[in-house]
Amino acid sequence: MASSAAAPKRLVVLVSGSGTNLQALIDGIDAVGSDAYGAEIVAVGADRSGTAGLERAERVGLRTFVCRVQDHPTRAEWDRALAEAVAAYEPDLVISAGFMKIVGKEFLARFGGRTVNTHPALLPSFPGAYGVRDALAYGAKVTGCTVHFVDDGVDTGPIIAQRAIEIRDEDHEDGGDALHERIKEVERKLLVEVVGRLARHGYRIEGRKVSIP
Ligand code: GAR
């Protein structure tokens, strides 16, 4: 008899670099199975080739694609191509897991309200590509990580969940590498937890407020 349980939600994960957040999602889903987790990764996309993140995906047999800005005449055309590449996998949610590009209008027209990003700072403090370094340079004593929906600003979309991490005096000595590693340990767990909850329970975005029933 067919199961009445909802099918796992389809995730496309976007990466740029080492892909440890992607790995956490792969492992988190694998640990319980996609039915119990509520989602499966249907493809992994990147804005550059040959990255550790793509290798992680290939190693476990996930489908991958690469969409590089420099292969398109304009940023808008890259954005459209990225949106089409993602759309080909019919995702319910898109997860930007260390994807170091700002998506544009076309992408948001198709995937706004269902694209989730993880950021290594407590937004709205320290948005952008250098969230860890900027928090250190500011002299902040506490930073953290934020999982949020993507909107048309730079890390400005509605916040889903955050965790705080203390900054230690010695963090100033290595430019933030050790701090970023401490943040990532917490961030990976938070991302796996949040994506699973969104997938299993659904969610509402009202203005800036995100609620998961
Ligand atoms: C993560 O810390 C993520 O928050 C950050 O890049 C790292 C990727 O690590 N993203 C940003 O800074 C986006 N503004 P990973 O490739 O090992 O998952």
Q: Is the CB of 190 under 6 A from ligand 1?
A: no
The pLDDT of residue 5: 67
As a whole number, the mean pLDDT across the chain is 96
Q: Tell whether ligand 1 has an atom less than 6 A from the beta carbon of residue 146.
A: no
Instruction: Evaluate whether residue 210 is within a structural domain.
Output: no
158 lines ligand 1 (CB under 6 A): no
Q: What percent of the chain has pLDDT over 70?
A: 98
- Please report whether residue 80 resides in a domain: yes
Q: Is residue 144 in contact with ligand 1, taking CB distance under 6 Å?
A: no
Q: How far is the CA of 4 from the centre of ligand 1 (A)?
A: 37
Query: Which residue do the tokens 């969940």 mark?
Result: 161
Q: Count other Cβ atoms within 10 Å, centred on residue 57.
A: 24
Which residues touch 28 (CB under 8 Å, ≥6 apart)? Answer: 37, 192, 196
Determine, yes or no, domain membership for 206: no
Residue 121, domain member (yes or no): yes
* DSSP at 176: T
Is 208 part of a structural domain of the chain?
no
Mutate to test the pocket of ligand 1, among 15, 16, 21, 96 (most ligand atoms within 8 A of CB): 21
Q: Which helix H or strand E contains 21, and what residues bound it? A: helix 20-32
What is the CA(120)–ligand 1 centre distance, in A? Answer: 7
Backbone angles phi, psi at 61, to 5 degrees: 75, 20
Give the Cα separation of 171 and 175 in Å (integer).
Answer: 7
- CATH code of the domain covering residue 156: 3.40.50.170
The pLDDT tens digits for 68-79 are: 999 999 999 999
Range of the domain at 45: 9-201
The residue whose CA is least distant from atom 9 of ligand 1 is 98
pLDDT at 14 exceeding the cut of 70: yes
pLDDT in tens, 162-187: 999 999 999 999 989 999 999 999 99
Rounded to an integer, the average pLDDT of 9-19 is: 98
* Ligand 1 atom at minimum distance from 183 CA: 2
Does pLDDT of 2 surpass 60? no
Environment class of 59 (CB within 10 Å of its CB; exposed 0-12, middle 13-18, buried 19+): exposed
Say if residue 33 carries a ligand binding annotation: no
Pocket flag, ligand 1, residue 151 (CB < 6 Å): no
- Cβ of 19 closer than 6 Å to ligand 1, yes or no, is yes
- CA 57/CA 74 separation, integer angstroms: 28
Give yes or no for residue 1 having a pLDDT over 90: no
In a domain, 169, yes or no: yes
103 known member of a binding site? yes
For residue 104, being part of any structural domain is answered with: yes
Instruction: Tell me the average pLDDT across 7-34.
Output: 98
Instruction: Please determine, for residue 50, whether its predicted confidence score (pLDDT) is greater than 50.
Output: yes
Positions marked catalytic:
119
Atom of ligand 1 nearest to the CA of 127: 14
Rounded distance from Cα 186 to ligand 1 centre (Å): 12
**Among the listed residues 55, 62, 78, the one whose alpha carbon sits nearest the alpha carbon of residue 11:** 62
Q: 130 in a domain, yes or no?
A: yes
**Rounded-to-5 percentages of helix, strand, coil across the chain:** 40, 25, 35
Q: Does 207 have pLDDT greater than 70?
A: yes
CA distance 30 to 125: 34
| pTM (whole model) above 0.95 | yes
Per-residue pLDDT band at 65 (split at 50, 70, 90): very high
Beta bridge partners of 119: 146
Q: Is 119 exposed, middle or buried (0-12, 13-18, 19+ CB in 10 A)?
A: buried
Q: Residues of the chain with pLDDT > 90: what percent?
A: 97
Number of domains, the chain: 1
